[in-house]
Structure 1
Amino acid sequence: MNVEMLQVADAVAREKSVERELVLEAMEQALKTAARRTYAGKNVEAEIDRTTGEIRLCHVRTVVEEVEEEENDLTLEQGKELDAEAELGAEFRTSLPPITLGRIEAQTAKQVINQKIREAERDRVIAEYEPRVGELITGIVKRVERGNVYVDLGRGEAVMYREDLLPRETFRQGDRVRAYLREVRNQSKGPLVFVSRSDAGMVLRLFEQEVPEVQEGTVAIQAISRDPGSRSKIAVISTDPSVDPVGACVGMRGARVQAVVNELHGEKIDIIEWTEDPAAFVVNALAPAEIERVLVDEASNTIEVAVSEENLAIAIGRRGQNVRLASELSGWNIELMSSGEEKERRSEEVAKARLIFQEGLDVDEDFAAVLVGEGFYSMDELAYCAVEDISGIEGLDEEVAQELQNRARNTLLDAALKQGKDEGEAHISLLDLTGMTREVAEQLAAREMSSVDALADAAIDEIEDIDGLSREQAEALIIAAREASGWFD
């Protein structure tokens, strides 16, 4: 029986891929749990001899300062009777007769052993696969249930959900599969290893395997956007000027990229050279469409792209795929339009800007057209640019430039003050406050304090650095604004 105990431990260790010592510890815990039913109240320990398989049970009593459990605790005097050198904390073990496992005890022992082994398996799977998240992993399809593929990894099992498969991709039991290790999740029912063939990381790792320059770091993949099973776009850059990053990824006669395409069942791969210039990068990302005009709006993170009518469909791609992938790859919102639409929009913007300048600056149409021609499209651009940007226009000197800026700022201030009164925030404007000057009001409006209520909500340190305003004056203006807003009514 004792030898059989060791044989069982060896068999379980091999089957579950866990350490033999861990199985024996689980058996000892199970025996200890079962023995508590026989020796109720006693602190029992169980030990299995690692060589002979002999089972030993013992009652453990501890020397304590104050006895709480008479059956398991000893006073210091009692301990010294057993051992003259006994001290607090010393333990004494007394052998107990072996127990007979009944049906209930055997079932309990089995549950304890199974629980310990499950915990060990869980720790082993997490320890083995968690550090490998982000790698390619190969396994054998174990079963397919409801479109989900369960993969035998050798020392664990992974699941690949239906959405992690490529479209129209099917697997059968026994098929060999290579996938991207996406996540290891520790759950109460056990660890789950998630793999994917649709993740963008799959494309990255395949290129690392096929392109030595990527492995070495000479060529870096900066970004990937992917429509699984259909098309991927990757942006690459070289750290060595002598190495062509696109050519390195394509390979001789396209051998390297073709190996990736074959693994992904014909998924098209667009390889684009990455550049810091967003306009140039977006033009490359929208290939093979030919781009006629690009306008970058950093404030809204948008790039407007104009193409000819015959290139519009190519730039958009099937179901918008090309422009969507280019947008994901670049990180910019791409607005596509035909050349005709772009010209019409520009004409509307120019006409609107001319009208704004004519009305706001009190200038004629020709003068407004000159400002628009120099790249000014809004009153804000004109009001807060450097004076040299205006005086540099042919026919204008610094005095005229300063006058134009003053008119632009006054127009913006009047509009801001009017907006505050239209919203009903106060019955008076900033300029009606005692001690307020137009220069100070203009600077307040630039800080989005164009109404009396907005100034009333401000703190002194928010406005005391305004030119021409002392701390005492700032405090007085805020108090006046609060009085006008009815704070003290």
Structure 2
Amino acid sequence: MAITSANQLELLQTAEAVAREKMIDPGLVVEAMEESLARAAKSRYGSEMDIRVHIDRKTGRATFTRVRTVVEDDLLENYQAELTVEQAKQYLAEPAVGDEITDEVPPVEMGRIAAQSAKQVILQKVREAERDRQFEEFQDRAGTIINGTIKREEYGNLIVDIGRGEGILRRNEKIGRESYRPNDRVRCYIKDVRREARGPQIFLSRTDPQFMAELFKMEVPEIYDGIIEIKAVARDPGSRAKIAVISNDNSIDPVGACVGMRGSRVQAVVNELQGEKIDIIPWNEDMPTFLVNALQPAEVTKVVLDDDAERIEVVVPDEQLSLAIGRRGQNVRLASQLTGLDIDILTESEESERRQKEFAARTQLFMDKLDLDEFFAQLLVSEGFTNLEEVAYVDVEELLVIDGVDADTAGELQARARDVLEEANRKAMEHARELGVVDSLVEFDGLTPQMIEALALDGVKSLEDFATCADWELAGGWTTVNGERIKDEGVLEKFEVSLEEAQQLVMTARIQLGWVDPAELETEAEDTGEEEAEA
């Protein structure tokens, strides 16, 4: 087959037809044709030659050119596609390295094999262009709902026809025991779109929490318009779900708007999710209040929040325990997902028993250390005193409000507490010295003798050792491993040293050792403040 005037226009017509069929740019098809013709020409003239083909976009005329590049003498390797500066002078007046010399060569006659090869190149290029178009189209639609038709089932996974492509609905992304047949209609959430060697992979889901959020957006105009905002979603697919909403307009009830007239709006979502029960909860910035709402229908009598540990303790009436936990822990699990906190649920009797144990332990501490009788020790605990430091260094006026305590008694109490603390400090320091603690750590401001002893037991015996510690190694923290939060014990955690205090102590040690320049820290702090102000 030769590229003659008889079939020049056919090239453009073919390119346009293929482009329309595959919904891609005709220019990409013409470029694929140019590359296929260039390959055929190389098989005719020699693979070492740099043959290029240009097809005129108006006339369809194909021009074959041979390109040679000017290189330095010692770099000449391919005599068919390169030439030296001296050799190039017969073509150019002042040739330079990098210049290209082009010569038009006659069109090639394409045999059956060459024509077949050219066809494969064109098909490959068209396929790649089609994949790129498909990826770009569905990448922009990730995070939205799409309707499709079941094509077939492969190993429990469903292949879904979604128009200009195919998506895969994996078995673990289906709700419960859903079953579909070919040609069944299905509504899915586009969870992810990935570019892979075999083409774009479009992963669909019906169990993703955002699928429910998008369904509410379709059913509730106020959510679509941004008047009501979905703050959090938690699902146990096919069984139960919780969704937290807030209204940006005080005149609109977010829960009522989502429920709809006689439950019409929420019922439409429930039907799509195979009867999944949905609790619609008002969002609240105050986390304890939000948690009380999230644990509905159970009643909550007390909430204790631990921000550092990202845990929350909930006390419920004894008869409400099973309701708060839910079947197989479902209610508390969904509430935990909704709030992002680990939740501990206690009954009122369990919490009362724990308080009694803490009361007894503190009473015994004061009886043993301050040589008090049980009644007087209980008085101190009842007034909120929890340790010897509070008794020793509290303002004397706070002791005088206790019944039966006068100025002399208060002074005696504080003197005893200080004596006990000083003796404990002396023993702690002696033990730390025995363990090898040096003066640089002993003289460092901010550490008590008990802290120094604890550090020494952990192998930290000098200021240099202390300066290399991480803040979480001192104050403790939490690490997430495989989705489970694991507690990291801190050396100074029992002394109630916070993460910020640990950071300050370590940085002060590094400054004293000359490891850190305070001026640089001030500059960084100023830059950070300016960035936050701009933001």
TM-score range, shorter chain: 0.7 to 0.9
Structure 2 residue identity aligned to 1:27: M
| 2:462 alignment partner in structure 1 | 457
Distance in 2 (alpha carbons) for counterparts of 1:249 and 1:413: 65
Alignment of 1:91-130 (within 5 A): 91-103=101-113, 105-130=114-139
Do structure 1's residue 235 and structure 2's residue 244 form an aligned pair?
A: yes
C-alpha displacement of 1:219: 2.1
Q: Structure 1 residues 361, 76: CA separation in 2 closer, same or farther (over 3 Å shift)?
A: same
Structure 1 residue identity aligned to 2:367: Q
Q: Is the 8 A contact 1:417 1:450 kept in 2?
A: no
Alignment of 1:368-387 (within 5 A): 368-377=377-386, 382=390, 387=395
| Secondary structure of the corresponding residue to residue 456 of structure 1 | coil
| Secondary structure of the corresponding residue to residue 300 of structure 1 | coil
Do structure 1's residue 258 and structure 2's residue 267 form an aligned pair?
A: yes
What is the CA deviation profile of residues 328-375 of structure 1, one whole-angstrom value per residue up to 9, with x for unaligned ones? 111222222333333222222222232233334443323332343344
| 2:517 alignment partner in structure 1 | none
Alignment of 1:269-418 (within 5 A): 269-377=278-386, 382=390, 387=395, 390-391=398-399, 394-395=402-403, 400=410, 404=414, 407=417, 411=421, 414=424
| Secondary structure of the corresponding residue to residue 140 of structure 2 | helix
| 2:166 alignment partner in structure 1 | 157
Q: Structure 1 residues 434, 313: CA separation in 2 closer, same or farther (over 3 Å shift)?
A: closer
What is the CA deviation profile of residues 260-301 of structure 1, one whole-angstrom value per residue up to 9, with x for unaligned ones? 212212111111112233322222111111223333344433
| 1:443 alignment partner in structure 2 | 448
Do structure 1's residue 37 and structure 2's residue 46 form an aligned pair?
A: no
Distance in 2 (alpha carbons) for counterparts of 1:228 and 1:364: 59
Q: Is the 8 A contact 1:374 1:393 kept in 2?
A: no
| Secondary structure of the corresponding residue to residue 344 of structure 2 | strand
Q: Is the 8 A contact 1:387 1:402 kept in 2?
A: no
| 1:484 alignment partner in structure 2 | none
Percent identity between matched residues is 42
Q: Structure 1 residues 47, 281: CA separation in 2 closer, same or farther (over 3 Å shift)?
A: same
Picking from 53, 56, 70, the partner of 2:63 is 56
Distance in 1 (alpha carbons) for counterparts of 2:284 and 2:393: 29
What is the CA deviation profile of residues 197-226 of structure 1, one whole-angstrom value per residue up to 9, with x for unaligned ones? 111111221222222222233322221111
| Secondary structure of the corresponding residue to residue 132 of structure 1 | coil
Q: Structure 1 residues 73, 140: CA separation in 2 closer, same or farther (over 3 Å shift)?
A: same
Give RMSD over aligned pairs.
4.1
C-alpha displacement of 1:49: 3.8
What is the CA deviation profile of residues 145-184 of structure 1, one whole-angstrom value per residue up to 9, with x for unaligned ones? 2221222222222211111111122222222322222111
Structure 2 residue identity aligned to 1:61: R
Q: Is the 8 A contact 1:426 1:453 kept in 2?
A: no
Distance in 2 (alpha carbons) for counterparts of 1:142 and 1:273: 41
| 1:483 alignment partner in structure 2 | none
Q: Is the 8 A contact 2:383 2:402 kept in 1?
A: no
C-alpha displacement of 1:132: 2.5
C-alpha displacement of 1:455: 5.6
Picking from 175, 188, 202, the partner of 1:179 is 188
Q: Structure 1 residues 226, 460: CA separation in 2 closer, same or farther (over 3 Å shift)?
A: closer
Distance in 2 (alpha carbons) for counterparts of 1:62 and 1:428: 77
Distance in 1 (alpha carbons) for counterparts of 2:255 and 2:229: 11
TM-score (norm: length of structure 2): 0.73
Segment of structure 1 superposing worse, 1-10 or 227-236:
1-10
| 2:54 alignment partner in structure 1 | 47
C-alpha displacement of 1:193: 1.4
Q: Is the 8 A contact 1:60 1:92 kept in 2?
A: yes
Q: Is the 8 A contact 1:234 1:271 kept in 2?
A: yes
What is the CA deviation profile of residues 364-387 of structure 1, one whole-angstrom value per residue up to 9, with x for unaligned ones? 32333234334455567x479975
Distance in 2 (alpha carbons) for counterparts of 1:221 and 1:409: 59
Picking from 209, 216, 226, the partner of 2:218 is 209
Alignment of 1:72-91 (within 5 A): 72-73=81-82, 81-82=90-91, 89-91=99-101
What is the CA deviation profile of residues 12-39 of structure 1, one whole-angstrom value per residue up to 9, with x for unaligned ones? 3233322222112112112212221211
**Structure 2 unaligned spans of 5+:** 1-6, 468-500, 514-535
Q: Is the 8 A contact 1:65 1:75 kept in 2?
A: yes
C-alpha displacement of 1:447: 7.0
Q: Structure 1 residues 331, 62: CA separation in 2 closer, same or farther (over 3 Å shift)?
A: closer
Q: Is the 8 A contact 2:426 2:449 kept in 1?
A: no
Q: Structure 1 residues 140, 392: CA separation in 2 closer, same or farther (over 3 Å shift)?
A: farther
Q: Is the 8 A contact 2:42 2:51 kept in 1?
A: yes
C-alpha displacement of 1:65: 5.9
| 1:222 alignment partner in structure 2 | 231
| 1:487 alignment partner in structure 2 | none
Structure 2 residue identity aligned to 1:100: M
Q: Is the 8 A contact 2:301 2:315 kept in 1?
A: yes
Q: Structure 1 residues 292, 170: CA separation in 2 closer, same or farther (over 3 Å shift)?
A: same
| Secondary structure of the corresponding residue to residue 335 of structure 1 | strand
Q: Structure 1 residues 43, 177: CA separation in 2 closer, same or farther (over 3 Å shift)?
A: same
Q: Is the 8 A contact 1:56 1:98 kept in 2?
A: no
Distance in 2 (alpha carbons) for counterparts of 1:273 and 1:374: 38
| 1:12 alignment partner in structure 2 | 18
Q: Is the 8 A contact 2:460 2:466 kept in 1?
A: no
Question: Aligned pairs, how many?
Answer: 461
C-alpha displacement of 1:62: 4.2
Q: Structure 1 residues 401, 300: CA separation in 2 closer, same or farther (over 3 Å shift)?
A: farther
Q: Structure 1 residues 7, 173: CA separation in 2 closer, same or farther (over 3 Å shift)?
A: farther
